[in-house]
Amino acid sequence: MVRSNTREEILAAAARLFATIGYKGTSLQVIAAAVGCSKATLLYHFATKDDILATLVAPPARDLAALAEKLDRLDAAAARELAIEGFVDLVLIYRQEISLIFHDMTYLFHAPSFAELKVLSERLAIVLAGGSTDAQALLGVNVMMAGIAAVALDRPEHGDVDLRGALIGVARRALVTNA
């Protein structure tokens, strides 16, 4: 029997495994076994584990880049408001991708496939900090961003519309002290 969606099965299995046992703890052999294919078949589709990760984070990176481009055309106040809403929307859309990042966040932000995502996240944090590059302001923003992501991951039972509104409200209140 020929499998036509092996690539998608590999990506789905890898995302699940990265989220549960971590990127570092997941080998290509473990991913292949989860899919029910050989490691050689997996390597036909992806040369390395980093290639799998890069494919998984490409959509959120693309959407974060599009948000950053929009933010660049706005004044600071309008950019901050759009950044809040845009960040919350991205977190809700890409819950699975964020969950796979959380397990090995410190390690992954140094992986080659995360270079662009890291730069874009830092740009977003500066906008959320009202344009400030002050270390304390950015620390507060990063805590807020991590908290929003953690809550969104922990509350899948809430409707996205209600959760979106609540998370935007929390972000606005948290960022008032960073203005």
**179 has a pLDDT exceeding 80:** no
Domain match, 41 and 106 both: no
pLDDT at residue 177 above 60? no
Q: Which two tokens stand for residue 57?
A: 């984070």
pLDDT at 101: 79
Tell me: do 113 and 82 sit in the same domain: yes
Range(s) of the domain holding residue 32: 6-45
Q: Is the pLDDT of residue 1 over 50?
A: no
Number of domains in the chain: 2
CA gyration radius for the chain?
18
Average pLDDT, the chain: 89
State the average pLDDT over residues 24-40: 96
Q: Are residues 29 and 70 in the same domain?
A: no
**Residue 24 counted as domain residue:** yes
